[in-house]
């Protein structure tokens, strides 16, 4: 879309989310009385756990709600450090942990602290759309590295090595990934970190779906490297999307630099959310979250069994997050129109591949399993029925 001429040139390079158009259309249909199954939005359908809400209520009633330190409340930074020790057996000094306004702020600040204008940042394609827009916002260049099923749709060490060129400063990888739910193994993380290190580059690891894995225990890259910048969040596993709270783990000696940026960008992360997050990390909060993780795993398994029956091919097994990336090339070469058609015909809202990059986006779509199993089965049944009427392109 052309940008007003009085705005900065960089604005022309920032893309909106296509999924928002799907969401708007879905809401219009809903307002007209249609039963819509929302599988397009990237947030869990569970409400924030009760112990977390109670802690927020308690804090609002008894504690002053002033700004906190720009790097976060000391007790929360300490609790996050304790959680790394308890969950992963890894020592992360609280001095290296910065509490942020969502992991979005963590990503922007990490990139801002590391990347100069004109420098390049490697990321997998498909991948999380904001990363390339953050990089463009800093007048730097995203390098979208096409990754397919053979690479687990990830920026592997081999892909990073092949794509590294003049001006590359950093690489970003997410495990589990959005939109594919695939993970990088510790050995692959180690190899990717080594590629970056050998080229005087930096690795940014996005672990915001870390707790949401179903075939393996959660892992952190911090157990194998401490020169990686690690982004995490209370949004997904902790189910606190709207509270806008995340964190960044920086290498030794970098906290002060991020503190300066946070002070200037937003002063401090939301104070009520920081109090609430303390309860998310406590045993009672974690028990609720583990039960929900099991439920999400069961949803994934239902979809993995059902989707191939309707011709939605899943080329790499999603091990985490709450997304399945489907190859729908049997039916379309315009995933946006296909998603629009599915919405109108079946009332099921999905995300077109175009949001996630340039690597065959028109042949893919993302399903977010953010609805109960019976609704997921219903969605698959509706889509299956609609597709029966289509001439197959195979
Ligand atoms: C891979 C990834 N990273 C970061 C974010 C940002 O999340 P938040 O700012 O809510 O922590 C998202 C949100 O969907 C995401 O999918």
Quick one: pLDDT at residue 1?
A: 59
Taking 70 as the pLDDT cut, the residues of the chain under it are: 1-2, 391-394
Which of 107, 211, 233, 323 is the best mutation target for the ligand 1 pocket, counting ligand atoms within 8 Å of the beta carbon and taking the most? Answer: 233
Between the CA of 319 and the centroid of ligand 1 the distance, in Å, is 17
Quick one: pLDDT at residue 4?
A: 84
Q: How far is CA 276 from CA 45, 53, 71, 271, 335, in A?
A: 19, 7, 16, 9, 40
Name the residue with the closest Cα to ligand 1, atom 14: 42
**Ligand 1 atom nearest 244 alpha carbon:** 10
- What CATH architecture does domain 50-282 belong to? 3-Layer(aba) Sandwich (3.40)
Cα–Cα nearest to 278, from 76, 57, 72, 64: 76
Using the 8-state DSSP alphabet, how is residue 384 labeled?
H
Q: How far is CA 363 from CA 254, 325, 337, 354, 372, in A?
A: 42, 10, 11, 9, 26
* Cα distance between residue 163 and residue 325, in whole Å: 24
Q: What is the number of other CB atoms lying within 10 angstroms of the CB of residue 301?
A: 13
Which of 235, 238, 357 is the best mutation target for the ligand 1 pocket, counting ligand atoms within 8 Å of the beta carbon and taking the most? Answer: 235
Indicate the helix (H) or strand (E) that contains 368: strand 364-368
Between the CA of 240 and the centroid of ligand 1 the distance, in Å, is 12
Quick one: pLDDT at residue 365?
A: 97
Over the range 334-355, which residues count as b (16 or more CB within 10 Å of their CB) and which as e? ebbebbbebbeebbbbbbbbbb
* 155 neighbors 124 (Cβ within 8 angstroms): yes
CATH fold of 9-47+285-386: 3.90.1150
Between the CA of 104 and the centroid of ligand 1 the distance, in Å, is 6
Cα–Cα nearest to 320, from 219, 197, 175: 175
Name the residue with the closest Cα to ligand 1, atom 13: 42
Domain coordinates in residue numbering, the chain:
9-47+285-386, 50-282
Two tokens at 317?
């097994």
Between the CA of 102 and the centroid of ligand 1 the distance, in Å, is 8
Between the CA of 17 and the centroid of ligand 1 the distance, in Å, is 13
Two tokens at 184?
């990088």
For ligand 1, residues with CB inside 6 Å are 42, 102-104, 128, 174, 178, 206, 208, 233, 235, 241, 246
């Amino acid at each position: 879309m052309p940008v007003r001429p009085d705005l900065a040139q960089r604005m022309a390079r920032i893309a909106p989310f296509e999924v928002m158009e799907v969401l708007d259309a879905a809401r219009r249909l809903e307002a007209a009385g249609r039963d819509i199954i929302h599988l397009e939005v990237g947030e869990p359908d569970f409400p924030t756990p009760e112990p977390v809400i109670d802690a927020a209520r308690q804090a609002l009633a008894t504690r002053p709600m002033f700004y906190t330190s720009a790097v976060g409340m000391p007790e929360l930074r300490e609790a996050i450090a304790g959680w790394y020790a308890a969950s992963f057996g890894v020592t992360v000094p609280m001095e290296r942990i910065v509490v942020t306004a969502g992991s979005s702020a963590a990503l922007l600040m990490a990139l801002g602290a590391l990347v100069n204008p004109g420098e390049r940042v490697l990321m997998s394609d498909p991948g999380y759309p904001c990363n390339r827009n953050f990089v463009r916002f800093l007048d730097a260049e995203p390098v979208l590295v096409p990754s397919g099923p053979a690479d687990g749709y990830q920026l592997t060490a081999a892909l990073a090595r092949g794509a590294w060129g003049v001006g590359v400063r950093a690489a970003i990888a997410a495990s589990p990934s959005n939109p594919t739910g695939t993970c990088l193994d510790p050995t692959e993380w180690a190899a990717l970190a080594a590629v970056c290190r050998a080229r005087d580059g930096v690795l940014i690891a996005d672990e915001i779906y870390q707790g949401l894995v179903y075939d393996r225990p959660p892992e952190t890259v911090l157990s194998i490297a401490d020169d990686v910048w690690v982004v995490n969040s209370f949004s997904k596993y902790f189910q606190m999307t709207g509270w806008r709270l995340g964190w960044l783990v920086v290498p030794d000696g970098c906290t002060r630099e991020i503190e300066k940026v946070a002070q200037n960008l937003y002063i401090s992360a939301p104070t009520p959310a920081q109090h609430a997050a303390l309860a998310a990390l406590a045993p009672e909060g974690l028990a609720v979250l583990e039960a929900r993780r099991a439920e999400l795993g069961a949803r994934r398994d239902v979809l993995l069994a059902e989707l191939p029956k309707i011709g939605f091919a899943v080329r790499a097994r999603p091990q985490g997050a709450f997304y399945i990336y489907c190859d729908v090339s049997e039916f379309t070469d315009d995933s946006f129109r296909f998603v629009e058609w599915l919405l109108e015909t079946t009332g099921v809202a999905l995300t077109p591949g175009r949001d996630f990059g340039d690597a065959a986006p028109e042949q893919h779509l993302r399903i977010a399993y953010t609805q109960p199993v019976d609704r997921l089965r219903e969605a698959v049944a509706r889509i299956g029925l609609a597709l029966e009427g289509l001439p197959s392109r195979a």
